[in-house]
Amino acid sequence: MSDKKIGRWDSDVVTESARQIPILYDVDVVVVGGTSGAVTAAVAAAEAGAKVFLAAPRPYLGDDICGTYRLWLEPDEEPMSPLAKVMFAEPGTATQFRNTVPFTYETDIESSSPHKDSQPLSGLRDSRWQGASTQSVQYNGDVNILVDLGGEQLIHKAHVMAYQRNDDFEVADVTVYAGQDRQQWQQVAIVKNSRLGQGSFENAAIPLSASVRQKARYLKIAVRKTPEAKRVLLGEIVLEKKPEEPVAKAVHRMPPTPMQVKRALDNALLNAGVQFLYGCYPTDLLRDGAGKPAGIIMANRSGRQAVRAKVIIDATPRAIVARMTAAQFEPYPKGMHTFQRIVVGGPPRDAENMKARQLPTPVYGDNGKIYQAIEYTLEIPMKDASFASFAEAEQIARDKTWRPEQVDASEVLFQVPPDRMKGQAQQCCTWPQASKVDLGVFRPARVKCLYVLGGCADVSRHGAEQLLRPLELMEAGTRVGAAAAADAKKIARPRNVGPAGRAGKSVTTGDIREDQAWMRAGPEMPYIRAGERSVPLLGQYDVVVVGGGTGGAPAGIAAARQGAKTLVVEYLHGLGGIGTMGLIGKYYYGHREGFTKELDQGLAALGGEAEGKSGQGQAWNSQLKIEWYRQELRKAGADLWYGTLGCGAFVEGNRVKGVVIATPQGRGVVLAKAIVDATGSAVVAAAAGAPCVYISGEHIAVQGTGLPPWDLGARYTNTDFAFIDDLDVVDSWYSFFAARMKFDEAYDLGQLVDSRERRQIVGDFSLSPMDVYLDRTFPDTVVRANSNFDSHGFTIHPMFLLRPPDRKALPCYVPYRCLLPKGIDGVLVTGLAVSAHRDVMPVIRMQADIQNQGYAAGVAAATAAHSGKSLRDIDIRELQKHLVEKGNLPAEVLTHEDSFPLPKERIERAVKTVVNDFEGIEILFAQSEQALPVLRDAYATAGSEQAKLTYAHLLGILGDPTGAVTLAETVKAKEWDAGWKYTGMGQYGMSMSPVDSLIVALGRTRRGEALEPILAKVRQLGPEHALSHHRAVAMALETLANPAAAKPLAELLQQPGMSGHAYPDINVATRNIPPSPTDNTTRECSLRELILARALYRCGDEQGLGERILRQYARDLRGPYARHALAILKEKQR
């Protein structure tokens, strides 16, 4: 039976050429889907002896519960299995702080800037303690807080919520006193801070809780800081009465938190030995030589991979894998369909064809606030069962149910599928319970080796409604998993496996290209051959925007407002990216005019005047911002597809004609006249063949990354505790898994990796640090950015080895050419992936500026689509005029030309001034070829030893050996100075000491006399020394590449504590997870080991030690380390 006849696509297709697909897993059973039932099926199959892999579509497990927000059990539902009991246990946060006592207070010292208390004093009783930057009160010393209870009260517990940053603000202990007047006090409790030295707690305050159990009219709470701390930052004081004794068991149990459900399911798979990944969509069915199902091909951020399996369990909501087979389904009727959506926060809304029901128990936030949840049942018209129809239904539901008080909501709509599968057995009457139903209802008729575990099973639609209740689905999953494992034991390993499908007539010329960036798919991995075949065409637009984040949502709005038929696709279920889904809900710097100003004012229109202050530095409501973007797209007529992953490009020659996307219902192509790649990682441009830069063998510098805990109502939760490679599906899996362990007490975890640096294109122009410092102008400026070098880690540009960046904010013009990938047409790139030196990105990646950049890209794309011109050939001056009118740009850009090259006189003047603390160094690096001869002459005629050293230092960094002797003598005479330990959050200025810089300069001379002074420094190092010292000697020695350096480097690595910091498997990686959201310790140790091993390897190695360490890191779960190590190991293979 052809794929066309079974509903794989309509008549329009495009052609995909033959290619090789790596086999990532070879298993007995593959479970496709991340539902609670999928997990129990995988666990049961593994417990029955099967080798199992599970592919989950979302960045978590349990999407049937958490994605739909169906967290509530019915009164007659009681968890019985150990897993269900953990998942649905009433959470501690639901009962925490439920009997709070109101109070007023005064203090014996005044609060201090920048976190002064309000008047009258209320900052410690406002139910807000979710971020030190905006929800704290500062005291510059020990403080006594006098609490007035307003009358005698029996106080059960007292909680002081304290923030922590090592050696800055730390609470040593809290002492609680009770009294009947303001004179006589009885000490009732001392609480010591058990988390001292465990890192920073700036977004999740540490609860210092005391048992009081006394009647009192007043309390005195004495807060004492550590001797090292400069101040105390407190978030809240919470007082509790004794909880009332329950008279009888409540009819309705409290819903679990999403974190609770996701963590339990994570642990269930891990404990059962099931391999699994997040963010994977099935795109193709594999068949063996006899035509039987034999696995899947899946798409994710790392491209596509095959999973070969004896048996498939399709646990997707719409049985997408089964629909790729000969399985038969009832038709999906055109007309009105019933969907459900849950909204947390705010009163119910009324609308036509919609009913609202308040759910029986509220949701409790971590800050003590209580939110009612409303379940909406909606009748929505559906044209068909296409993904576009479901996407439109999602938007209709959000139009009807959104409220400004909303703090959370369903990611996806819930529906009992009306188009059930024809099974080997049929259940048509009363639901017999999952423990008794015939397993034949999950097996498609006339299809072997496949189970359908979900609402499309062959049961009555009332039975499907019961089956989709989580406890029933988990029970069904357990039975199906065991049956699948038994089937697998009887089946031989599939042979001659390949994807189903054949080639049809393409509607246009071109071919699909896919991203080849995934470093873990090496030549040693087995591959399958996919022959030439057809891929469905899902739509045709003027402009397609891939990614609906900080730049993508504005791009879509701008393009649609210009009249372009526009589609925005976004993997998550909310727009705005880092500032909404990533919870970095506040501007740092940035040019807050133009489109950004319109956006900020729009928040006030949605949420009230108080919500319009984001342009003034106030944190915004992420739910409001998500909705503003969505409403503006809808007003402008754009289509919006959530849950959609960009995973390739449709290309003819060097022109991108469309994008390849993976949806929950399969993979296809959308054609477009112009494309905006707003993925943040240049996914479309890279797949098309655009040259890109990212972590390589050259360096492992990457700005620190975070994953925020998600608490209801939170606005600003900034984290930086890891390096995460968003292009590595293994790293993403580890990072989400580990972050849920790290923040397991939070309500939930964010679903967006808060990256500050990703893969970048090599564009028609690339911004350099010198361009920033010299305020270079361009004829094609489209963005006026503004920020400082907030590097979140170490810098790598040679100029910064001499004069590190400071905290001063600098303006920067960004030319249109930075958005154009070199050699590729039809696509513009925005956000973190634009063409610029990675050290420049902190200056141009501010949210306000990326919003304006995205707007500019959207206008440009629409202009190209309307005119029929190439993106390179549009009228830039007309684009600039529009951006000036909008307020994005100052009017002077209309007359700008390139202010480079600089005149010779400026270079000569800079050579003279550079001896004054490297004044003018940016000029010399901007045109270094012209500067070098002048610098050599200046070294030869220097009037002082200090000037001579300065010139030698600068020449060495530039790779010139002229001053090698001076540098060698200086390094030999210097003692080690204070180095730099790895710092992510709050890193400004130097990341190498003066001696470090001299050592690097000496190594870059590549002269023989450089070796011994550097080796002498190596012999003085140990694990107690800062990272920068180790990095400096490694950089110098690997440049020299002298085998004599190998033994000293090996001896350094063999010192106790210097090695063993790789994370080759999940057990090692999660053995000790520091609790701090801004932890630096793990990165300090791993970077030190890897960088030294790299230098050792490049110096010829010593008894294979360097290679062994590199191979450990090549298997590291953390993508940046693995990518760097693999690149180095490949150097000798060339």
For 954-1021, the three-class secondary structure string (H helix, E strand, C coil) is HHHHCCCCCCHHHHHHHHHHCCCCCCCCCCCCCCCCCCCCHHHHHHHHHHHCCCHHHHHHHHHHHCCC
Q: Coil, helix or strand for 208?
A: strand
| Cα–Cα distance, 565 to 550 (Å, whole number) | 21
Q: DSSP string covering 865-882, please?
A: HHHT--TTTS-HHHHHHH
Range(s) of the chain covered by CATH 3.50.50.60: 19-82+254-330+420-496
Give per-residue burial for 1076-1097: e unless 16+ CB within 10 Å, then b. Answer: bbbbbebbbbbbbbbbbbbbbb
Percentage of the chain lying above the pLDDT 70 cut: 97
pLDDT grade for 4, boundaries at 50, 70 and 90: very low
Q: For residue range 560-597, list pLDDT tens digits in order.
A: 999 999 999 999 999 999 999 999 999 999 999 999 99
836-885: pLDDT as tens digits? 999 999 999 999 999 999 999 999 999 999 999 999 999 999 999 999 99
pLDDT of res. 250: 54
pLDDT of residue 97: 63
User: Six-digit token pair at 606?
Assistant: 């949605």
CATH architecture of 19-82+254-330+420-496: 3-Layer(bba) Sandwich (3.50)
Q: Identify the CA nearest to 300 among candidates 840, 660, 779, 713.
A: 660
Q: What is the mean pLDDT of residues 266-283?
A: 98
Q: Which of 445, 473, 465 is nearest to 330 (CA)?
A: 445
> SS in 3 state form for 1086-1123?
HHHHHHHHHHHHHCCCCCCHHHHHHHHHHCCCCHHHHH
pLDDT for 1107 beyond 50: yes
* Residue 216 binned pLDDT confidence (cut-offs 50, 70, 90): very high
Least confident of 1-10, 208-217, 329-338, 853-862: 1-10
H or E element, residue 268: helix 258-272
Evaluate if residue 5 carries a pLDDT over 90. Answer: no
Tell me what pLDDT residue 7 has.
36
Residues 6+ apart with CB under 8 A from 738: 1069, 1070, 1073
Any idea of the CA torsion for 89, 91, 92, 98, to the nearest 10 degrees? -120
Q: Range with the lowest mean pLDDT among 610-614, 657-661, 1072-1076?
A: 610-614
- Span 449-504, pLDDT tens digits: 999 999 999 999 999 999 999 999 999 999 999 999 999 999 999 999 999 877 78
- Residues 433-457: what's their mean pLDDT? 97
Q: What is the pLDDT of residues 664-713, one digit of tens each?
A: 999 999 999 999 999 999 999 999 999 999 999 999 999 999 999 999 99
CATH no., domain 904-1133: 1.25.10
3-state secondary structure of 1065: coil
Helix (H) or strand (E) holding 144: strand 143-164
Phi/psi for 7 (5° steps) reads 85, 20
Q: Yes or no: say if 517 and 694 are a contact pair by the CB < 8 Å rule.
A: yes
Mean pLDDT of 327-354: 97
Identity at 60, one-letter amino acid code: Y
Peptide bond into 120 cis (omega under 30): yes
Residues of the chain with CATH 2.60.120.260: 99-240
Instruction: Work out the burial of residue 1: count CB atoms within 10 Å of its CB; fewer than 13 is exposed, 13-18 middle, 19 or more buried.
Output: exposed
In 10 A of CB 612, how many CB atoms?
Answer: 19
CA–CA separation, 986 and 889 (whole Å): 29
pTM, rounded to two decimals: 0.90
Percentage above 90 pLDDT, the chain: 85
For 934-945, what is each residue's pLDDT tens digit?
A: 999 999 999 999
CA distance 773 to 265: 51
CA 1100 and chain centroid, separation: 38
| Average pLDDT value for the chain | 94
E strands in 609-746: 639-642, 645-652, 655-663, 666-677, 692-693, 709-710
| Residue 547 zone, left/alpha/beta (φ > 0; ψ -120 to 50; rest) | left
Count of CA atoms in the C-beta half-sphere (13 A) of 906: 15
The first and second tokens of residue 44, run together, are 């049961």
Q: Which residue has the tokens 């008894």?
A: 1103
Give the pLDDT confidence score for residue 3 in this predicted structure. Answer: 36
SS3 932: helix
Q: What is the pLDDT of residue 618?
A: 85
State residue 592 phi and psi, 5-degree precision: -95, 50
pLDDT tens readout for residues 54-98: 999 999 999 999 999 999 999 999 999 999 999 999 876 444 566
Report the distance separating Cα 93 and Cα 747, nearest Å: 8
Residue given tokens 């951006």 in the structure block: 883
User: Closest Cα partner for 191 from 153, 232, 167, 222?
Assistant: 222
Class of domain 99-240 (CATH, top level): mainly beta
Max CA distance (Å), the chain: 99
Contacts of 499 (CB under 8 A, 6+ apart): 21, 284, 285, 286, 287, 297, 528, 530, 531, 533
Q: What is the mean pLDDT of residues 27-31?
A: 99
Residue 246 has pLDDT above 50, yes or no: no
For the cut 90, the answer to whether the pLDDT of residue 999 exceeds it is: yes
Residue found under tokens 């709070």: 100
pLDDT band at 986 (very low <50, low <70, confident <90, very high): confident
Residue 614 has pLDDT above 90, yes or no: no
For residues 370-397, give the mean pLDDT.
97
Q: State the amino acid at position 748 in one-letter form.
A: D
